Structure formats: C-alpha cells, structure tokens
Amino acid sequence: MPHPFDSFRLDKRRAVITGAASGIGKAIAIAFAQAGAQVVLLDLNAEKLAEAARAVDSAAQSFPCDVSSEDSVSQAFERIAAEGPCDILVNSAGIAHVGTIDSTSPEDFDRLFRVNVRGTYLCMRAAVRQMQAQQSGVILNMASIAATSGLPDRFAYSMSKGAVLSMTLSVARDYLASQIRCNCISPARIHTPFVDGFVARTYPGREAEMFETLARSQPIGRMGTIDEVALLALYLCSDASAFVTGADYPLDGGFFNLR
C-alpha cells in the first residue's frame, strides 16, 4: 500500500536547478537528489559548480551557464535535452542589491534585470519548450517578499522580484493545457553566505550585533534556513502539490501578517 509521503518522492524525475553552486540552489539540489531525482546543476561559477555537484550526488550532472546570456542558456538546455527530459526547473540563480532609486545606478539596475529577470525568462522559455513536447512539467521560481512589500533600500531588487512573480503567474496561466505547473516562493531573510558577506562588509567589527538585528526583523525572531526553503521547494515540485499552480508561497517568519 502506498505511503502518504510517497507523493513527495521525485523518483524518475529530472530536475534542473539554476544558481546551484551554493546557498539556496545547492540546498534544493541536495533535497531533490535525496528524494530520488536526477539533478542537473547550472551555475556561472564552474569551479564551485563542480564541487557542489560532487557534494549533491555522485550521479548529478553540472553545466556552467550564464543565465543572463541567451546563447549560454540555449547551449545548456540543448545539452540537457540531448540526455533526457526536463521534468522540473527551479530558477534559483539571482543577485541582490542594496539601494534606493537615487543611489541605484543605471548599471546596477541593468545588472539586476539581466540576472534576476532576463535569466528567469530565458530559462523558463527554454524549459517550457521541452515541457510542452512532453505535455508535463513543473517550474518553480524564487521571488521574494520584496516583490509585494515596500522594503527600504531595495529598489532594484524589488523591481526584479516583482517581475519574477508576474512572470510566474503568466506562465501558470498560459500553459495549463500543457499540464505545466508554475509557482514561486517568496522568502523573507534567509541565512545564506550573501547575508554573512553583507554584514561583514557593511558592519565590520559589529557582525554579531547586526546579525542579531537582522534576525529579529522577522517576527518569528530568526532568519529562515536554506533547508527550510529546500523543503518547501520539494513540496511544490512534487506530486504532493499537484493541485497547486499560479501560487506565490511566502516563507517569511510572519513578516506579512504578524508585524
């Protein structure tokens, strides 16, 4: 008799994960591999990507890819298609930025757009074409609470994550008939290497104090973990969420409703 948790398994599924060399992307790759998926890791940093692939699973594949480049994405997905299906795509590649509209240069703005918006678009476009051919697939994007909340000093980042949320809803609507589900996760502050680096650069000598301040900005009293993001991603990419599409899932420690 099937176990209720069997629906969380990803056996015989092939999952492509961008930004998989570190942080949230790597945690998702590990969780998916442990759930039985064949994982394909994409990232710009070839050296860290190879290390991550070895840490994730001995059978994991990895392809260096600049998600902001149409040629790089096309080449990566052609290699993926040549070896098997793309059952799941997780768009985790992204960059952050701190600044108001006044302090955000056009170069900063364009850089955020290229990676977070164009990168998500290009990878979804490539994956959808493969998923349409097989009449099935799941896409999960990483948005943010910044998409729907006026966070201070996050002008360009909020712009980019708002676009990710809107693209998620459009793809979910347009490909219902092709049995392609598309959702996104909107995390609040997650403890990643980026957070540690930001605190060290911005508040030298005050790291412990500022880390505690950032943690307390979530009503629950701490930052989220990359493993918590990975577990929600596993749910949204498995058959356990077969009735879920066009959804934006907050993972925010009570940020929206309990402040």
Domain ranges of the chain: 4-188+224-251
The residue-averaged pLDDT of 74-96 equals 97
Question: Cβ-count burial of 65 within 10 angstroms (0-12 exposed, 13-18 middle, 19+ buried)?
Answer: buried
157 in active site:
yes
Looking at residue 70, what is its pLDDT? Answer: 98
How much of the chain exceeds pLDDT 90, in percent? 85
Question: Cβ-count burial of 24 within 10 angstroms (0-12 exposed, 13-18 middle, 19+ buried)?
Answer: buried
CATH topology assigned to domain 4-188+224-251: Rossmann fold (3.40.50)
Looking at residue 1, what is its pLDDT? Answer: 63
Q: What is the pTM of this model?
A: 0.95
Looking at residue 200, what is its pLDDT? Answer: 87
Residue 58 has pLDDT above 90, yes or no: no
Looking at residue 247, what is its pLDDT? Answer: 98
Residue 45 has pLDDT above 80, yes or no: yes
Sign of CA dihedral 183, 187, 192, 194: positive
Instruction: Indicate the pLDDT class of residue 254, thresholds 50, 70 and 90.
Output: very high
pLDDT, tens digit, 9 for 90 and up, residues 203-241: 888 988 888 888 888 899 999 999 999 999 999 999 999
Looking at residue 114, what is its pLDDT? Answer: 98
As a whole number of angstroms, the distance between CA 200 and CA 206 comes to 8
The one catalytic residue among 157, 175, 235, 249: 157
Looking at residue 2, what is its pLDDT? Answer: 66
